[in-house]
Amino acid sequence: MSRVLFGVVALATAGQGFYFFGQFVATSVVFAITLLLFVYTLRRRESFTFDGHGRGVLITGCDSGFGHSLAMQLDGMGFMVFAGCLFPDGDGARNLVQECSSRMKVLKLDVTKDEDVASAKEFIQSNLPEKGLWAVVNNAGISDWSETEWNTISDYYRMADVNLFGCIRTTLPFLPLVRASKGRLVFVSSIFAFFNCLTMGSYSVSKRGMEAFADCLRVEMASFDVKVSIIQPGNFGPATKIVKDKTAGEIWDKLDEDQKTMFNRRYIEVANEYFKSLCKEGSTDSSRVIEAMVDAVTSPRPKFRYLLANKKDAVFFYAYPYLPTFVSDAVFSLSPIYHKRKSMLYTRKRSYS
């Protein structure tokens, strides 16, 4: 009988223990969430009240899109903006000069040219505000769609020269100035940096390389109190018009005879129309991206990465690193164009025996 009573008491004690442990865990979770929300709110408030007067910011790719909007936003916050434009006499550059304050400085800056970067550095050093160069925002970028095999080595070089080496070419010369002000380095990447989607090969390669560069730089610059952030927009094609408009005929004409034997023109036409329709489905409102870029420049505690995608893409993006490769590949193959590709792709069977 005593053994039974002892067992009952032991179970009751254990039950109480589990109950209190559960209470502790639940309380800890609630406390952690509350603390995170408090810190987030505080960080957002501090970011909003940041005074940009006396600080300079270099932004690449300001002719249009994100760079153009960010330049206007930061000018309104008091920053001296050095707006790098591919066409300094173009409509975008003229609009910045007309609509912004006298602090706005438009520069000719092709990020693929060493001489343009050198000239920009010389100009910025000669016109630095009293608090120095606070941030470099690597926004300039190009995009294109094509199956991996259809790209020539020149296509890969061109994509990487802007999206990857353009960032490196621009960032390195300005590191001493940003380090002196304990400022910010911001890189505009894409969710496609880690999505191995059909037809986005060369773009993904260039953006993934950019993120690797930024990640390495973030670890090294932490010793100097320089913050490094990566912006990861989803589909904002209509807002940026970054994707080059091309016809199926242009793609077809680039293929060699062997590729034309393996790929049929009808598939290229269907794929081209599908990609265009996909771009049109993107967001026309870039305000979320601009808000994130401003936060990366001004917040005392900027995020390492800012993911700006729709809910479906965001869920998959966060799950992607933990999925087995065959699962993530299967998800990508659910695309409607993938099934059309399988049924239309080959013009005839070939024998390699």
For the four alpha carbons of 271, 276, 277 and 279, in that order, the dihedral sign comes to: positive
Rounded distance between C-alpha atoms, residue 252 and residue 130, angstroms: 55
Cα dihedral across residues 100, 103, 106, 111: positive or negative? negative
Task: Give strand pairing partners of 85.
Answer: 108
Give helix 65-76 / helix 287-298 axis angle, nearest 10°: 50
CB contact at 8 A, 137 and 293: yes
> Cα separations (Å) of 146 from 143, 203, 276, 281?
10, 9, 12, 19
Q: Which amino acid is at 96?
A: L
Residues 6 or more apart whose CB falls under 8 angstroms from that of 278 comprise: 235, 237
Q: Where are the beta strands (DSSP E) in the chain?
A: 56-59, 80-85, 105-108, 133-138, 184-188, 227-233, 305-308
Dihedral (CA of 35, 36, 39, 45) sign: negative
Catalytic site includes residue 203: yes
Integer angstrom CA distances of residue 94 from 85, 89, 97, 213, 279: 10, 7, 5, 33, 28
Contact (CB, 8 A) for 79 and 52: yes
- The active-site residue, picked from 19, 203, 274, 338, is 203
DSSP string, 292-337: HHHHHHH-SS--SEEEE--HHHHHHHHHGGGS-HHHHHHHHTTSHH
Please list the active-site residues.
Answer: 203
